Chain A
Amino acid sequence: MSTTPVKFYQVGSFAVGNRLLPAAAGSVQSDMERTNALTSGHRACQGCGEALGARYAMDAAMRAANDQVIAVNATGCLEVFSTPYPESSWRIAWLHSLFGNAPAVATGVAAALRAKGRTEVRVIGQGGDGATVDIGFGPLSGMFERNDDVLYICYDNEAYMNTGVQRSGATPAAARTATTQAVGPEPGNVFGQGKNVPRIAMAHEIPYVATATVADLRDLEAKVARAMEFRGARYLHVLVPCPLGWGSQSCDTVKIARLATQSGLFPVFEAERGEVVSSTPIRQRVQVEEYLKLQGRYSHLFSPKRRDDVIDKLQAAADRNIKRYNLLPEEEGDL
């Protein structure tokens, strides 16, 4: 990571800001003058992680790019709740075209800017997991492969939320969605091979790939800032809990994202040119159960009958991440 943790005892570097920090050392979100790229009045559900993640990321990008940002958005919740005629909640130059083409549209914007010699303007593509890992995957890969000068941000809420919570390629195993119902002998989503787009992005050897969550703002902001230091294709995958789709309490959005990281289910790391260069260690390890039990989409794992077999499999996946990304560096020997 490019940031030096702020030596700050009271709240360390984990809170959004602090009155004692000089403004420059504060997070973008602590800045009274932050862009508020996605401002009030949008129609996201209460406690929407995607609304939060998008503002975090876009405000950070605005700071990094001296406010010279154009954003391209795929169809999905973020687009729908931000721009229903006649109201837009964006405060930045923004374009929505289709569900499956945001990376390509962003490429077009970048190409136009380059043709016009306006390379100070930075381009960000953004979309949900459906837009990114499924329908827009071809354009995303093309954008990566050509190394187009675009930062693409996936707001991963692990399903097609806008259409009513259907399964996507990013839906985790065992999760209930409208198309992977909690019925039958193997309720919820299948245990497939998974589709790890950050790793796929790394396989393109693009300059920068990172994961982040809405639970660690400073990390997320640092990654956006780092991403903006590169030219070429960059990918940021942000976990954004969705109270509606996950069946969680609206107040738990950040907490759930935190548990996703602290259980190891969602590894937070960054990679440059195909190599992992850092991972964010788990600070307070929890078992996956802590994470699962806050979410209705996993309730079938706990009642009417506890499914230890399934929980164990999910725990194994978390353990694998911990090992693979070295998320518990101090316990390395024990694994």
Chain B
Amino acid sequence: MEQPFAITLQVESSLANHTGSWRVERPQYVNLMPPCNNACPAGENVQKWLYTAEDGSYEEAWRALIVENPFPAIMGRVCYHPCQTVCSRGQLDEAVGINSVERFLGDLAIEKGWSIPVTAPSTGFKVLIIGAGPTGLSAAYHLRRMGHAVTIRDAADLAGGMMRFGIPKYRLPRNILNAEIARIEDMGVRFQMNHKVDNVQDAIDDGFDAVFLAVGAQIGKRAYIPAGEAARILDAVNVLHDVADGDAPLLGRKVVVYGGGNTAFDVARTAKRLGADEAMIVYRRTREKAPANDTEIQEAIEEGVLMKWLSTVKHADAGVLKIERMELDDKGYPQPTGEFEELEADSLVLALGQEVDLSLINNMADVEVRDGVVHVDPNMMTGRAGIFAGGDMVPAERTVTTGVGHGKKAARNIDAWLRKEKFEKDPNPKVVEYSDLNPWYYSDAPHAVRPRLEGARRASNFDEVVQGLDESTALYEARRCMSCGNCFECDNCFGVCPDNAVIKLGPGKGFEFNLDYCKGCGICVSECPSGSIIMIPEKS
């Protein structure tokens, strides 16, 4: 074809015109901190493993998860999931059911028998961990992955700490607990059970290079309650421990549990399962003020546990309790009213919290104790170099997940300390705010509620109450994630650029900007659903 001069042009000859020179700002892909990751006490990269699970790569997702936390199946049952509380999707419709997907992955791993190989070369360092609760187990796991030789000593006959002797099995079946602990044992962690450590110093002298204390808070708090001789008053932790040991205590027909935390509810629900006609929570404040997790309260109510809010136990006697009604003052604190009533009760179980048994560090003056807990520095180290501590025995929220997080953090610091380095965590990127997202692009898809056993049925046995998701629901749930602050390849930038300046690299490879042509309009930034692109000034 003959082409007339100037009037007729070659197609795509404009590629010679590099409009990138117009730009004063340039777009940049970033990976920001999703709120869920930021809120996870174990520091899980939730967004990443959800993303990985979204295409059905469950093993890969599970492996991404256990980089931070070795207990997805346990987490999926007992974690109070603060990640979900802050999940951005909650502002759109309902939070992503992160926890249930986590459980799905954890259960699948157990079912498939996925194991965790230790690939790091042996460092030659030996670390002693005292306490095989979640905190100690987590530290052991992470230290082992780094190549250290790890020994755990625990006073109990079985590992798990409060996960075994506190949390009832209708919430955490023992086969699950055992499976996830066994995986750690399989990694070559040495367990020395029935091995109470009375003196840390002695343990150090056994030739360990570092020690991690994770003995938890085992001693039930006692409140002074005037009581008659025949009054049957028990401690919640002991009750649960005994139940866990298969040695259920006699609680009677009517059980009153005093306290408003999770332990109280666990005891009440356990009492129902042990055959009590009536289990009642007595708590001095209101339901809203009760520290127990709301789902736990809800489940207890469904199971027929009775509630007596704004009440204190004034006196206990055989078969009867004296209760004083309280009322909240202007500041929301409960104040006595002088109104009393009597309550029939065969036993009173005190669930007022736990204290740390500090006897094992009694003779270590340099390990500082404040308010009954061990003080640690930001690196989880106690006042004594080489001795670290975490979990319920240090000041922190007392949850399994916090313990796991402490274990991880301690492991990293122990590792650095052993190598005579300092552990420097990469600075956290900016936490994604809802306003960074463009939620328009997410279609409404409500949260898949985990199936529950019928309340009536479940109260009579120790079967697991909350069931897991099946695969399709887990996938659905994973895909509800909005991938806050991290590209999830929705192709929006690739689509919305008026200048074709976004190069799609192909599935899993993300995108690149073609700065030869990007004019810096910023549409890609505005229309990125996940807030994973920012504009930065062009260097002049």
Contact = CB atoms under 8 A, between A and B. Distances in A.
A26 B443 contact: no
B49 to A, nearest CB: 15
Contact of A19 (B9, B14, B488, B519): B488
A175 to B, nearest CB: 22
Given A11-B442, A46-B521, A40 B15 contact: yes
Contact of B526 (A29, A86, A254): A254
Given A16-B492, A16-B496, A48-B498, A88 B527 contact: no
B509 to A, nearest CB: 10
A159 B13 CA distance: 29
A8 B443 contact: yes
A220 to B, nearest CB: 11
B483 to A, nearest CB: 8
A10 B476 CA distance: 8
Task: Pick the most buried of B441, B491, B535: most chain A CB atoms within 10 A of its CB.
Answer: B491
Task: Pick the most buried of A40, A42, A51: most chain B CB atoms within 10 A of its CB.
Answer: A40
Interface in B433-448: 440-445
B507 interface: yes
Contacts of B504: 30, 32
A47 B518 CA distance: 10
B12 A14 contact: no
A14 B9 contact: no
Interface string B465-493: 00000000000100111110000111110
B6 interface: yes
Contact of A15 (B54, B490, B498, B501): B490
Interface residues of A, number: 57
B14 A52 contact: no
B540 interface: no
Contacts of B444: 12
A90 B12 contact: yes
Interface stretch (A111-119, A149-157, A226-234, A244-252): A244-252
A254 B489 contact: no
A3 interface: no
Interface string B485-519: 00011111011111111001011100000101101
B445 A87 contact: no
A6 to B, nearest CB: 9
Given A17-B494, A29-B491, A52-B498, A11 B441 contact: yes
B525 interface: yes
A284 interface: yes
B523 interface: yes
Given A14-B441, A42-B14, A48-B498, A86 B491 contact: no
B10 A88 contact: yes
B230 interface: no
Interface in A1-58: 5, 8-20, 26-27, 29-30, 32, 36, 38-44, 46-49, 51-52, 55-56
Task: Pick the most buried of B11, B480, B497, B520: most chain A CB atoms within 10 A of its CB.
Answer: B11
A242 to B, nearest CB: 11
B22 A46 contact: yes
A83 B9 contact: yes
B16 interface: yes
Contacts of A90: 11-12
A86 B6 contact: yes
Interface string B1-29: 00000110111111111110010000000
B259 interface: no
Nearest to B528: A15
Given A12-B441, A29-B494, A41-B517, A251 B12 contact: no
A52 B19 contact: no
Contact of A251 (B6, B476, B522): B522
B443 A14 contact: yes
B400 to A, nearest CB: 29
A326 to B, nearest CB: 20
A104 B96 CA distance: 55
Interface string B232-276: 000000000000000000000000000000000000000000000
Contacts of A41: 12, 14-19, 517
Interface string A165-192: 0000000000000000000000000000
A47 B488 CA distance: 23
A305 interface: no
A40 B9 CA distance: 15
B72 interface: no
Nearest to B535: A251
Nearest to A19: B489
B55 interface: yes
Interface string A279-316: 00001100000000000000000000000000000000
A46 B17 CA distance: 15
A92 interface: yes
B529 interface: yes
Contacts of A324: none
A213 interface: no
A237 interface: no
Contacts of B9: 83, 85-88
6 contacts: A9-B443, A16-B496, A42-B19, A47-B519, A88-B10, A253-B498
Given A27-B495, A254-B496, 18 more contacts: A5-B443, A9-B480, A10-B54, A10-B442, A11-B442, A14-B441, A15-B529, A17-B491, A27-B491, A30-B491, A30-B504, A38-B500, A39-B500, A42-B19, A52-B497, A87-B14, A251-B526, A253-B521
Q: Which 5 A-B pairs have the closest CB atoms?
A: A12-B443, A251-B522, A16-B495, A17-B491, A41-B14
